[in-house]
Structure 1
Amino acid sequence: MPALYERHRDELAAFARGRVGNGPPEPDDLVQQAFANFAGVQNPGNVRNPRAFLFRIVSNLIADHYRREPAL
């Protein structure tokens, strides 16, 4: 998992930053939460494309945030 984190954290943070700016939610927090969620997957070895899976997690976390936050 550390190698996966090192390999993808910057591009995941850039992706998140492109969607939410500097927050909230904080892009780095989204990346950390995505990896925590990935670590909780029952059989992470069965994930065919971990990079795509992580991007989907970040997208879902952003969507969840905006669903919870009232529109301004």
Structure 2
Amino acid sequence: MKWLSKLVDNASNFFAHRKGLLPMLGILLVVINYILPFVLGPYTVITGTNLFLHLGVIVAIFGFMLAWAL
């Protein structure tokens, strides 16, 4: 469990100086989700389930909560 504590500590130090990184990454994933149906087609597994949309929203919300806490 020491490795988990060290991982959380290192991640906290990294994101303390880069508070907008995770929300920007989430927005980028949402934009990728918008572009993918034009590239791959609307009926693939990735575009049909809106995988990048859901991941982007989760990452952005987590980033806002983490930035507020730090």
Q: TM-score when scaled to structure 2?
A: 0.30
Which of 1 and 2 has higher RCO (CA within 8 Å, sep 6+)? 2
Larger helix proportion, structure 1 or 2?
2
- From the CA coordinates, give the structure whose radius of gyration is larger: 2
